[in-house]
Amino acid sequence: MICPDASFIKFIHMKRLCLFSAALFFAHLLPAQRVVSISINGGINPVSAGFIHRSIEQAQNEKAECLLIHLNTPGGLLTSTRDIVSDILKSPVPVIVYVSPAGSHAGSAGVFVTLSAHIAAMAPGTNIGAAHPVSLQGAPDTIMNEKGTNDAAAFIRTIAQKRDRNMQWAEDAVRNSVSITEKEALEKNVIDLIAADDGDLLHQVDARKIELAAGSKILRTKNADIHSLQMGFFEKILDILSDPNIAYILLMLGFYGLMFELYNPGLIFPGIIGVICLVLAFYSMNTLPVNYAGLALIIFGILLFLLEIKIISHGLLTIGGIISILLGSMILFRTSSAENFVRLSWSVVIACTSVTALFFLFVIGAGIRAQRLKPVTGANALIGRTGTSMSILDPIGMVSVHGEIWNAESVSGKIDKGEKIQVKGIKNLSLYVEQIANSV
């Protein structure tokens, strides 16, 4: 047997070490796999739709393996939902929708978004479903609502068919408002997997083949870096403004500010705040399905409160104003399929209506009543006051009123000295008085 000498063995070890070092060097030069991660926590609206669109573009520019969307939503606008679904279906990068964390749910519009993803996942303790439209007044569906439901059902069937998911359940979620847990969703082929966290999710989807519009792609996400992308400052502000309750409150605050300025010209500050609130409210309403009949009823109700201050109606105008604002608030936003999120909270409506009624009846009313009071200073303040005659008034003499001596003229005949008198008028620093009956 021929044994290798020590120099040959050393050469072999050096060669292996060089190869290993070269492998590490080239591995370091290769770009690390990246996953772009975002969170949608709240209603689906134009802001969230724009954020998802921007995130897809960002993931493409960064050559990310996929876009991971953490979803927790009660629903939202159908128009925005269609924009999101369209962006996901034609996305050049794989999109994973992950209903998380525990306790989250994908309701209404969230069902459409989840089913449209290349990979749909849920965390333990989450649920999905209930996409049936709910009218704002709780009344049965009208013909228009039925048409909207049929349209939404066809839309969700198309999505489920595209992603090879349970079409029957998807339609039931729209028509019958069914909702299921994450385990039931996996069993019914509504989602692809259940993952405990992001790491578990990326480990499970590693090496999966994804069909994109431009072709297929094999995911490499096992050890990928997660890059979290956040909404910008203005996007966060606009997202808050897209809440119908915020829009309603801003609308009422805007009316309050303008009314303060109208009844107290020159204050400036209430007018500025009022205009700003109204502009923000109208912007917010521009992103929501506003029923302008409801808006008109709210404005009419405020006008009735104003008339109550000017006209004595024994409360009829106030009652009309309350009813008008309540009815206007109830129908301020239209609802349709996948838009049951767009509704006003009853606590907000009742609180704003009550504050509005109190505001006009007591605050502005008290100010106007104060303006109508008789002056309490100056010469006119003496009218109606009582005093004593300091000399005989026949008809001219001297009287004492409020501790002051005045020239006076009787308008009720001769008044003896020491009689009680009452001031009826004043002119040129001379009082016109009359004797108080039974003053002796």
| Enzyme catalytic residues | 108, 147
Contacts of 105 (CB under 8 A, 6+ apart): 72, 73, 74, 99, 126, 127, 128, 179
Q: 3-state SS of 63-93?
A: CCCEEEEEEEECCECHHHHHHHHHHHHCCCC
3-class DSSP assignment, residue 334 = coil
Write down the residue that tokens 């917010």 correspond to. Answer: 284
Q: What is the widest separation between alpha-carbon atoms in the chain?
A: 159
| Residue 96 token pair | 């994973």
Residue type, 86: S
| Residue 310 token pair | 């000017």
Length in residues, the chain: 440
Rounded to an integer, what distance in angstroms lies between the CA atom of residue 274 and that of residue 280? Answer: 10
Residue 173 near residue 131 (C-beta atoms within 8 A): yes
Count of Cβ atoms closer than 10 Å to residue 177 Cβ:
16
| Residue 200 token pair | 């578990």
E strands along 139-253, which residues? 179-181, 193-194, 209-212, 215-218, 225-228
Count of Cβ atoms closer than 10 Å to residue 141 Cβ:
15
